Structure 1
Amino acid sequence: MISKKKISIVTILLAAFLLLASSTVVQAAVNPLAKMPRKDSEVANTAITGKGWNFMTPEYSSKVKIQVKSYNPKIATIKGHTAQNSSNKKYYAGYEIFCVSPGTAKLKVTVTVNSKSYTKICNYTVYKWENPFKTLKIGSKNYLPKFNKSGYYVSQKDISGQVFSFKINPNYTFVGASCLKNNPFSSVQLKPGNNVLPKNAYSVSVRVESKKNGHFYTINIHIPQNSPY
């Protein structure tokens, strides 16, 4: 017959083992870089609006530290950030990547939380900007060459009320297009072919997807004299 003393010892040992196992699982689950991609990519010089951080850690009760490094700063640079949630007062960290030129950059990220550090490497590919249009005109003027090097263009001339026409290169798929106007503010949807830009238009955007690399290429025409900002 097994004594009560032996049963108690076995019970204590089993409880200690389960506690150790559960703490190990919890520790593994809170790795701040668990969801950080090992491979990522972006198109250089595309017109991106509202871009934020590329990656954020989970939130923690204690402060989080982050160190970042690009081994190929001529391809891409990286900037680390830390912040605190104003609602629950918890802390988190993240990073933002900036494209410089086409190629692949090795990016190193180290995050420290609860006195323990985690490190991960991301191979980040920057794709060269390509003009995704077959034709692009505003009125009778050819605007196609203005997007040979980037997706941004600032028009010093008020182009509102004119015909905006475009056709997409067959290597790309049309995703969407819109025009923002002021006084009063509204958004007008555009499509390939001929579109009449509304009065007080201040931003025209077209977004397409590359069939070759699956990335989005976006162009934006900004008309500052009509902008409310």
Structure 2
Amino acid sequence: MGQHSGTKSYSLRKEYGLHGAVKEVSTYLCKVNKQGILSDTGNAFGKYKLTFDEQGNGQINYRKRTNENGAVIIYEMIYAGKGKNVTYKERIIIDGKQVEEAGYKYVWSDDLSYKIVKQNDTSDVQIFTLNNNFRIINFKLKQGDVEHNYKTDELIKNNRVEKTITLNENAENEITKSFDVMVMKEFDEHNNPTKIYSYDNLDEKNPIVVVFKQYKYYK
């Protein structure tokens, strides 16, 4: 039994597994250095902000990251539509210069499966499979001849997700496998995670990224 058992209507907020009337989520990705795990988000290499309307539909998804070469990459998605009728426009900006703008829409094949279709371009395909709580359990990305497949398992305790394990399979000339493990360390009063350790191994040794989250709620 998950945190949204019994709900029937999809929303992006449910897909993210959020509790309560979340209005905004701010996410900070911080690397772990020789001094250990830091709590200062000012040096975050990734800063995300996701907003919802009162019904839980997505509004704005803003992602800003600095890659290993020092380039600043911004993805800005503006959502429209309600429930499963979702479209969005995405802008990609690298070092202050817009390199792409495109429109996308969700196409549902059944109650728990959809793909995201890019307007005027069918070469890339994103396919999502959800569980009964509308959480993503499988994501497949096809880019030309390359296929990426992600399968996620959740550990749920106390009616909240406390760990996710994602198996990544990349198939080109051969199949390569890797794991992403997210362990929720701290939660707010609504049981939404505020500190998450990210590992690239199943032994949960030496986290590579610490994720901090801050929430705003509708009253």
Same-fold call, TM cutoff 0.5: no
Q: Give the structure with the higher percent strand.
A: 2
Bucket of the pairwise TM-score, normalised by the shorter protein = under 0.3
The structure with the greater share of residues assigned to helix is 1
TM-score using structure 1 length: 0.24
Query: Given the two structures, how large is their TM-score scaled by the length of structure 2?
Result: 0.25
